[in-house]
């Protein structure tokens, strides 16, 4: 009597195959995640370079001035405007250039505009994405270190308490390859605590180990205080990166005033905003 050959898998064979697949997934998944992060980082950098081109076109049409980071009292209609608002006509087909507070305009632009151009921001921070928070932040300090930061007329913001002025492209362009204008961040403008500024008379150090000196996102998203450095220092890092590592390692993107964009650390970002061309930040 002949035996019929069994063609199926035994339980042991199935478990071996499943185990091999699990091992392969464990090996490949981190590599795929890294590749995905790198791809998103490159897309963010490309969009920042496009924003740099828009800044220069804006300057060509506005007596060589770059826009305010924020202007609380727009002369035409009294609506608060931000740097991103003023660049809308230069990065999209929309002709509206005084405010993105209109929901229709915001919804039309946010999914396709380089102003919301960091895919890590739109993916991770959906609750915070708005007309005011595009995922990029603009420096307030075009004159550092040529003029003291205690002189509020040299800040690139105009509010009820700060009588700042927008600066010409040539001012931003001094040490332009070392000076950052736009960074990964939560707020529309970039705050640097007064105690961390080179002309503070106290220190120019960002203390990466102090519990009181923070940079976003290590405080509650969207609610940073005046003691925080308003950058997203770990935006392009793998999940769970430490605060100290984001200070030392390159996990966020920045647009420099000469038009190039690169990935920088929190330490480099502070240097490029507060003291371009030097190396004074510690530790």
pLDDT bracket for residue 28 (50, 70, 90): low
Of 39 and 29, the structure prediction assigns the larger pLDDT to 39
Contacts of 262 (CB under 8 A, 6+ apart): 45, 253, 254, 256
pTM: 0.83
Write down the pLDDT at residue 236: 92
Q: Which residue has the higher pLDDT, 9 or 180?
A: 180
Rounded mean pLDDT, 89-101: 65
Question: Domain-by-domain residue ranges, the chain?
Answer: 11-274
* Axis-axis angle for helices 83-91, 11-61 (nearest 10): 100
Quick one: tokens of 118?
């960091």
The Cα–Cα gap between 43 and 118 comes to: 7
Mean pLDDT of 64-74: 86
What is the pLDDT at residue 221? Answer: 47
More confident residue, 114 or 208: 114
Q: What is the mean pLDDT of the chain?
A: 82
Judged against a pLDDT cut of 80, whether residue 176 lies above it is answered with: yes
- Return the pLDDT at 173: 96
pLDDT for the residue numbered 152: 94
Q: List Cβ neighbours of 248 (8 Å cut-off, separation of 6 or more).
A: 208, 265, 266, 267
Measuring CA to CA, which residue among 106, 29, 70 is closest to residue 230?
Answer: 70
pLDDT for 107 beyond 70 = no
């Amino acid at each position: 009597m002949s035996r019929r050959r069994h063609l199926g898998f035994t339980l042991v064979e199935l478990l071996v195959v499943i185990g091999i697949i699990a091992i392969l997934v464990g090996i490949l998944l981190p590599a795929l995640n890294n590749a995905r992060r790198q791809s998103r980082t490159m897309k963010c950098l490309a969009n920042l370079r496009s924003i740099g081109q828009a800044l220069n076109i804006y300057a060509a049409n506005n007596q060589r001035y770059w826009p305010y980071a924020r202007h609380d009292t727009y002369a035409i209609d009294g609506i608060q405007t931000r740097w991103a608002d003023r660049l809308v006509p230069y990065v999209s087909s929309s002709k509206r250039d005084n405010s993105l507070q209109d929901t229709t305009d915001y919804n039309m632009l946010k999914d396709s505009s380089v102003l919301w151009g960091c895919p890590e921001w739109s993916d991770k921070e959906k609750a915070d994405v708005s007309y005011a928070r595009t995922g990029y932040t603009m420096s307030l300090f075009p004159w550092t270190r040529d003029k003291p930061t205690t002189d509020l007329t040299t800040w690139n913001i105009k509010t009820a308490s700060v009588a700042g002025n927008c600066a010409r492209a040539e001012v931003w362009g001094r040490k332009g390859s070392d000076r950052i204008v736009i960074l990964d961040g939560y707020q529309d403008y970039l705050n640097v605590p007064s105690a961390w500024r080179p002309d503070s008379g106290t220190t120019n150090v960002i203390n990466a180990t102090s519990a009181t000196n923070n940079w976003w996102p290590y405080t509650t998203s969207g609610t940073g205080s005046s003691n925080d450095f308003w950058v997203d220092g770990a935006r392009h890092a793998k999940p769970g990166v430490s605060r100290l590592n984001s200070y030392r390692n390159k996990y966020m993107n920045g647009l420099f005033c000469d038009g190039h964009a690169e990935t920088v650390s929190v330490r480099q970002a502070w240097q490029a905003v507060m003291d371009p061309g030097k190396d004074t930040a510690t530790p």
